[in-house]
Amino acid sequence: MTTAPVQVPLDITTLGDLPAAERDPALAAVSAALEGKPAGEIAAWAASTFGADIIVAASMQDVILPHLFAQVAPGVEVLFLQTGYHFAETLRTRDVAARTLSITVVEAVPRQNLAEQDAEHGEKLHDRDPNLCCFLRKVDPLARSLDGRGAWVTGVRRIEAPTRAHTAIVSWDDKHDLVKVNPLVTWSDEDVEAYQVTHDLPRNALVAQGYPSIGCAPCTRKVSPGEDPRAGRWSGNNRTECGIHT
């Protein structure tokens, strides 16, 4: 069922030209007006506000965001960062989502394939310099994919990490020069589970196997019961973010 957009006006035609001192308060007001609204209404607002200029990022740990936007913007572009290091289960989830939802999967591809990267930087760059590896395989491809867009959507949730605790629903993304929309910021793990059950969504099989936060295979491990869900990402060093949200 299609969700009617909530009425929160935003003039996107001049947004990019405004000085930060005007632009950021305008977006903060929009964000405040959307706070507490259901994710489906936020998605409908974003789709109606940005039209074809929006793209939805999905890690394929779950397919909640693609499903949400497929309801309000059939055929919506869904961006998948194809690092070349994904688990087979993640790629299967992407394929099932592409087949069963009204979405168009777009892959952000690094400039070099893995063989070329290994030739230039040596094998297992992720073990020696994960910052550079994430830049080459995630940060740079994402930046190129967002170039010229009006807004992108992410599934960031405030409870996921201290670095995400104050994430706004709508904000200006300085790094990429466009609006960032986070419809799921207030969701708990129970909300995630309830949405998947209600809509009988395809699941990434790794979650049930002890992987509550899934990234590239070389940088993701299982976590023990009670352990921080993101402890399995870049385990063994102080890294908690790949750089696309910071």
Tokens of 61: 């740990």
**Which of 20, 19, 43, 76 has the alpha carbon at shortest distance from 170?**
43
- Give me the sheet containing 76-81, strands edge to edge: 103-108, 76-81, 54-57, 151-153, 178-181, 170-173
Binding mask 79-118 for ligand SF4 (x = CB under 6 A): ----x-x---------------------------------
242 is catalytic: yes
Contact call for residue 230 and ligand SF4 (CB under 6 A): no
Contact 27, 65 (CB under 8 A): no
The nearer residue to ligand SF4, 76 or 242, going by C-beta atoms, is 242
Site string for ligand SF4, 196-215 (x = CB under 6 A): -------------------x
Cα distance between the two ends of the chain: 34
Strand partners, 77: 104
Of 42 and 216, which CB lies nearer to ligand SF4 in the complex structure?
Answer: 216
Residues 26-65 that bind ligand SF4 (CB under 6 A): none
Q: What sign does the dihedral 234-61-158-167 (CA atoms) show?
A: positive
- Candidate segments 19-27, 29-37, 62-70, 130-138, binder of ligand SF4 by CB under 6 A: 130-138
Rounded least distance, CB 84 to ligand SF4, Å: 8
Count of residues that interact with ligand SF4, criterion CB under 6 A: 13
190 Rama sector, left if φ>0, alpha if ψ -120 to 50, beta otherwise: alpha
Contact present, 126 and 221 (Cβ < 8 Å): no
Please select the residue that binds ligand SF4; options are 10, 219, 223, 244, rule is CB under 6 A.
219
* Enzyme catalytic residues: 242
Residues at the contact surface with ligand SF4, assessed by CB under 6 A = 83, 85, 126, 130, 133-134, 137-138, 215-216, 218-219, 242
